[in-house]
Amino acid sequence: DAKTTQPPSMDCAEGRAANLPCNHSTISGNEYVYWYRQIHSQGPQYIIHGLKNNETNEMASLIITEDRKSSTLILPHATLRDTAVYYCIVNAGGTSYGKLTFGQGTILTVHP
């Protein structure tokens, strides 16, 4: 699976949008981009995933560049409860499905 690069930490003011970038320049055509987050002392929580098109759900939006070499997770109105480590993961599925490679992620701190 392709490697991802994320900034180690970011800050965001409560109520503002949090934009978390991820670089996956070696992504293959069949690899999806997944975002998970881990709030302190909890298990990782799925947020969103996509292949080529931008995606939106009740938690977040995922913007994937046309060349698919990078993506941005957007939390439109961050709250204090969004403080967590955010992981960007690429995975092809098939025999590697479920074998998610978690890097160090981005520690997002939402402050009042």
Partner 1 sequence: DTAVSQTPKYLVTQMGNDKSIKCEQNLGHDTMYWYKQDSKKFLKIMFSYNNKELIINETVPNRFSPKSPDKAHLNLHINSLELGDSAVYFCASSQITGGNSPLHFGNGTRLTVT
Interface with partner 1 (CB under 8 A): 32, 34, 36, 41-46, 49, 85, 91, 93-95, 97-100, 102, 104
Q: Which CA distances in Å does 92 have to 13, 42, 81?
A: 35, 26, 30
* Pick 10 or 14: Cβ nearer partner 1: 10
What's the closest the beta carbon of residue 1 comes to partner 1, in angstroms?
A: 11
- CA dist 23 and 72 (Å) reads 9
* Pick 15 or 97: Cβ nearer partner 1: 97
Q: Do β-strands 84-91 and 70-75 pair in parallel, antiparallel, or remain unpaired?
A: unpaired
Token pair of 21 as six digits: 């970038």
Token pair of 40 as six digits: 């302190």
What's the closest the beta carbon of residue 99 comes to partner 1, in angstroms?
A: 5
* Pick 34 or 108: Cβ nearer partner 1: 34
What's the closest the beta carbon of residue 32 comes to partner 1, in angstroms?
A: 6
- CA dist 55 and 49 (Å) reads 7
